[in-house]
Amino acid sequence: MLKFITPTWPAPLQVKAYTTTRQGGYSHPPYDGFNLAEHVGDDAKAIAANRSTLIQTLKMPTKPIWLKQVHGNQIVTANTDHSRCAADASFSTQPGHVCVVLTADCLPVLFCDRAGTRVAAAHAGWRGLANGILETTLQHLNVSPQDILVWLGPAIGPQTFEVGDEVREAFMDFLPSAKEAFKTSREGHWLADLYLLARQRLAHQGVTAVYGGDFCTYTDTERFYSYRRDKVTGRMASLIWFLNKHSARK
C-alpha cells in the first residue's frame, strides 16, 4: 500500500504537496518498492508502473517534469516540458503544473507563496545548498520573502551526515554562522545539519516561515531510501502544484 508524507504547513487550500515513501509500488530489491527514478538501475517497467500509479493516486492535473538533477543551481519552469533537462529545481506560476524533485538523502525543499499562486520544488544536497539553489529558486518566485512558505522534506539527519573540512569551509565562507551547523565527528570530519544550513540560507534571504526538517532518511529504513546507507537504492519524490481556487473547493 502506498504511503505519502503530507507537509504540515499553513499553505493555502489550493496548494497540493506530497513526499512519497518507499512503501508500496512495483520495484524489487534493492529498489523496493516505490522507486521513481530512472537513473539508478531499476527495471524500466517497474518505474513506469510506479510513476503511473503516482499520477493516478494523487490525481495530478498533469504529468510531473522529471529533471536530470546535477547538484547545481539551475531552475526551469514546470509550465513547459523540460524532461531530462539538467536542473535542480522547477517552479510554476500557473495552476495545474507539477514541480518535482527526487531524493535519497539530499534535502527536498518545497515552496509556495501565501496567496497560493506560485510554487517550486528544489533538490538541495550540500552542493546544491552551497551553490545557491535556494536563493535561485526564491529569485524566480519573485515575491516578498515574508510571503514565502517553505517545507523541508525528508533528508539525511544531523546525527548521521558526515562531511569533510571542505564542506564546512564552503558554507562558512558564505555565511560564518554556518559554523553552528557542524559538530566535530573525527579528525577532519564533521556531522552536518542540512536542515539548519537550509534554514540559515533562507533566513539570510529574509524567509523565516520554514516548516518540516524532522526526518532522517538514513535511520528510517522502513520509509525512506538512503544512498549513503545502501548505495544502490531508489529515490523518493517530493511534489507540489496548485489548482485554481474554484477547483480546490470541489
Structural domain includes residue 1: no
Structural domain includes residue 114: yes
Measured CA distances, 184 to 44, 136, 178, 215 (Å): 42, 30, 14, 21
Residue in this structure with the C-alpha cell 524532522, named with its chain if needed: 214
β-bridge mates for residue 240, sequence order: 17, 99
- Single out the residue of 136, 138, 141, 185 nearest to residue 159, CA to CA: 185
β-bridge mates for residue 20, sequence order: 4
The tens place of each residue's pLDDT in the chain, 250 residues long, gives 899 999 999 999 999 999 999 999 999 999 999 999 999 999 999 999 999 999 999 999 999 989 999 999 999 999 877 667 899 999 999 999 999 999 999 999 999 999 999 999 999 999 999 999 999 999 999 999 999 999 999 999 999 999 999 999 999 999 999 999 999 999 999 999 999 999 999 999 999 999 999 999 999 999 999 999 999 999 999 999 999 875 555 4
Could you tell me if 100 and 65 are in contact, meaning their C-beta atoms sit under 8 angstroms apart?
Answer: yes
pLDDT of residue 25: 96
Structural domain includes residue 8: no
Alpha helices in 58-193 (DSSP H): 126-131, 133-141, 165-174
Torsion of CA 76, 79, 82, 83, to 10 degrees: 120
Max CA-CA distance within the chain?
58
Structural domain includes residue 2: no
Structural domain includes residue 145: yes
Measured CA distances, 38 to 6, 44, 71 (Å): 24, 7, 17
pLDDT tens-digit map of 106-152: 999 999 999 999 999 999 999 999 999 999 999 999 999 999 999 99
Q: In what order do the strands lie in the sheet with 99-103?
A: 4-5, 15-20, 236-242, 99-103
Q: How far apart are the first and last CA of the chain?
A: 26
Number of domains in the chain: 1
Could you tell me if 103 and 235 are in contact, meaning their C-beta atoms sit under 8 angstroms apart?
Answer: yes
Structural domain includes residue 66: yes
Structural domain includes residue 5: no
Q: How many CB atoms lie within 10 A of CB 223?
A: 16
Structural domain includes residue 7: no
Q: Which domain holds residue 233?
A: 14-244
At 166, which helix (H) or strand (E)?
Answer: helix 165-174
Query: Residue 169's domain is classified under what CATH number?
Result: 3.60.140.10
